[in-house]
Homo-oligomer: A and B are copies of this chain.
Amino acid sequence: MEVALLSFTPEPELIVAAAARLSTSSISAGELRQNLSAEQVNSLLERLLSSGHLSPFEHASFTFALDGISRVTSHQLVRHRLASYTQQSQRFVSFNELNFVTPATIVAKENLKAKYGELIRASHELYRQMLDEGIPAEDARYVLPSAVETKLVMTMNARELMHACSLRLCQKAQWEIVELFERIKAEVTKVAPRIGAELKPKCYQLGYCDERESCGLLPTRKER
């Protein structure tokens, strides 16, 4: 899996702070970005975060190139509707090389890992044969397993990143999408450390775990 930050709103935290500043002052729009010290930016962000007024975080967007995630994970990912996705098409691209993801639980069992690899290779062979015999790529791909890798460009704003991470950094989410969002968090943190710090599982916000069983980080509501 590869996660690269392809582009983002320059000075993302400053832009969020400038928008927040507009909302409760009579400053002119032209002056919004001016004379905002790092301390003021921080203090404006803290105020927004502590009061749950998250809408100004929508003004900062992050665009990622995501490579080498399984179709299992891309299917989960695009369920986050407040974001933009461009995915490599299995209709228009035919796959000469075979790249696929193997879950660690399967890697751990030699016999299963071997069978898993064989079966996926057999799928790819049949896929290639079908292409050779004139089946369109969009149909041949029905035989490809969910394990095969895909690529996406994804744009998500900081508010939605917080929301998506609240769900996907929870240890009850599936390991592959947890890893994906951990890498996303790492990329955001490099360019927007305060926003990056806010990308965390929902239990931090709630103060308890709302899953049936806790991963151990925080107790469930009943256990508190």
On whether A20 and B86 interact (CB within 8 A), knowing A72-B141, A211-B51, the answer reads: yes
* CB atoms of B139 and A58 under 8 A apart: no
Tell me, in angstroms, the Cα distance from A59 to B63 when the chains sit together. Answer: 7
Contact with B along A55-76 (1 / 0, CB 8 A): 1101101010111001110110
**B19, B71, B152, B153: which contacts A146 (Cβ < 8 A)?**
B71
Tell me, in angstroms, the Cα distance from A100 to B129 when the chains sit together. Answer: 20
* CB atoms of A75 and B78 under 8 A apart: yes
Q: For the complex formed by this chain, how many copies does it contain in all?
A: 4
Secondary structure dominating the interface of A: mixed
* CB atoms of A122 and B120 under 8 A apart: no
In the complex, A204 has a CB within 8 A of chain B = no
Contact with B along A124-157 (1 / 0, CB 8 A): 0010011001011011111111110001110101
Across the interface, which residues of B come within 8 angstroms of A18, CB to CB? 6, 153
On whether A101 and B142 interact (CB within 8 A), knowing A24-B89, A29-B65, A106-B130, the answer reads: yes
Tell me, in angstroms, the Cα distance from A140 to B116 when the chains sit together. Answer: 9
Tell me, in angstroms, the Cα distance from A180 to B155 when the chains sit together. Answer: 26
Across the interface, which residues of B come within 8 angstroms of A143, CB to CB? 116, 119-120, 145-147
Across the interface, which residues of B come within 8 angstroms of A202, CB to CB? 52
Across the interface, which residues of B come within 8 angstroms of A142, CB to CB? 70, 72, 100-103, 106, 116, 145-147
Most buried by B among A22, A71, A101, A205: A22
